[in-house]
Amino acid sequence: MYKQAKESYQNIGVDTEAAIAAASNIPVSLQCWQGDDVRGFEAAGELTGGIAATGDFPGRARCADELRGHIKRALALVPGAAKVNLHAIYGEVAGASRDAIEPRHFAAWVDFAKENGLGLDFNPTLFSHKNSKSGLTLSHPDPGIRAFWIEHCKRSRRISEYFGRELGMPSVCNIWAPDGFKDIPADRLTPRKHLLESLDEILKEPLGSSNIDAVESKLFGIGLESFTVGSHEFYLGYAASRQIALCLDSGHFHPTEFISDKISAVSLYVPRILLHVSRPVRWDSDHVVILDDELMAIAREIIRHGLTDRVHIGLDYFDASINRIAAWAIGARNMRKALLIALLEPHDRMRGSEYAFDFTQRLILQEEQKTLPWQAVWHEYCERSGAPPALDISMF
């Protein structure tokens, strides 16, 4: 099957061997919070910040060792390079406050990454805490509350730098704050000034190339429906002016907006892009990623424009209604399938037709390649990687 597929793709000028090699080298970061429904190891109680993990499927990881074991099982089912994305609440902190976390609290994660050939990414956790109950953190009117979260984010950046330095692969430190109001605010400007000042204070320490700073916007959250301090416009301006990475989350925009269309636009203004790939249903509901049109469009935008070195791909969903290891594997494999399909497109021929204003040929190429046997290439890719070409319920 692969031999026939290889010949079919050669007929349109696509090298399947090169596609497999390229797909294998693009890291996809697996979100640790899928494994335990965003609970972490602080015993902080209920989720806040507009976050909700729905469902009661058995098997949630109860400690760091269980979570690492579950992640390892999931990664065995996914071909290609991988990272693990951690939130600050997943350190083995032994009671340390969030404004006192240190690299040593995450040493076991570094050991795990080294043993399994993984990279690590990091996120400060600005939700599910007594200092976030008001709905404001880095934009809080109380300087003391802001100082607490500023210190937490500073320490998070140092932990991210530690990850990158130890593992020889840059770690993305992504700052997302849930800040906002349930009802219409009287003052939209002052919280945004506070957020800008807090971010500048957090980022003023130079850390070098082992750490990549990113900021993430959101449209709204549960209990924060009327006003979000860190909107897309705020963070696009901030990332462009500070020349840091901008995070685009699939579920953080209006229902008619797609992040695939934003990738090329923002790439002109920011040095790097972080993607949080999710599947919103009605809102930022974080459903498991499926191989749908938007996922394939995201992959096409990365591949067609040669952005693999500037776009960092992370998954971001947490479904508690199904087997959590299966949720990881299904979503990560679909992200990988989308990347492989994009790599199997005849990009140069389609682009050449477009530049020649031969839109008939462009449409023919776009449509005909949809029926080419990418599944046979996927099967070969998995076989070479030691991952199963297909999943079965018996694996979970």
Query: Is 356 within 8 Å of 350 (Cβ atoms)?
Result: no
| pTM for the model | 0.95
pLDDT of 283 strictly over 70 = yes
Q: Note the pLDDT tens digit of each residue in 160-203.
A: 999 999 999 999 999 999 999 999 999 999 999 999 999 999 99
Average pLDDT over residues 294-311: 98
Q: Note the pLDDT tens digit of each residue in 29-55.
A: 999 999 999 999 886 567 787 788 889
The backbone region for 124, taken as left when phi is positive above 0, alpha when psi lies in -120 to 50, beta otherwise, is: beta
What is residue 16's predicted lDDT score, i.e. its pLDDT? 98
Q: Please, which pLDDT band fits residue 93 given cuts at 50, 70 and 90?
A: confident
* Angle, CA of 205, 212 and 293, to the nearest 5°: 150
Which has more pLDDT, 221 or 35? 35
Q: Please, which pLDDT band fits residue 252 given cuts at 50, 70 and 90?
A: very high
> Of the ranges 27-31, 226-230, 278-282, 343-347, which one carries the lowest mean pLDDT score?
278-282
Average pLDDT over residues 219-236: 94
Burial of 24 (0-12, 13-18, 19+ CB in 10 A): middle
Please give the structure tokens belonging to residue 157.
Answer: 């950046």
Give dist(CA 336, CA 85) in Å, integer: 17
Average pLDDT over the chain, rounded to whole? 96
DSSP per residue over 85-129, as a string?
EEEGGGS--TT--GGG--GGGGHHHHHHHHHHT-EEEEE---SSS
Question: At the fourth CATH level, which superfamily is domain 19-345?
Answer: Divalent-metal-dependent TIM barrel enzymes (3.20.20.150)
- CA torsion angle 348 349 355 357 (round to 10): -160
Q: What is the set of active-site residues?
A: 176, 216, 218, 249, 252, 276, 284, 286, 316
Strands 311-315 and 273-277: parallel
pLDDT of 296 strictly over 80 = yes
Q: Is 136 helix (H, G, I), strand (E, B) or coil?
A: coil
Q: Please, which pLDDT band fits residue 357 given cuts at 50, 70 and 90?
A: very high
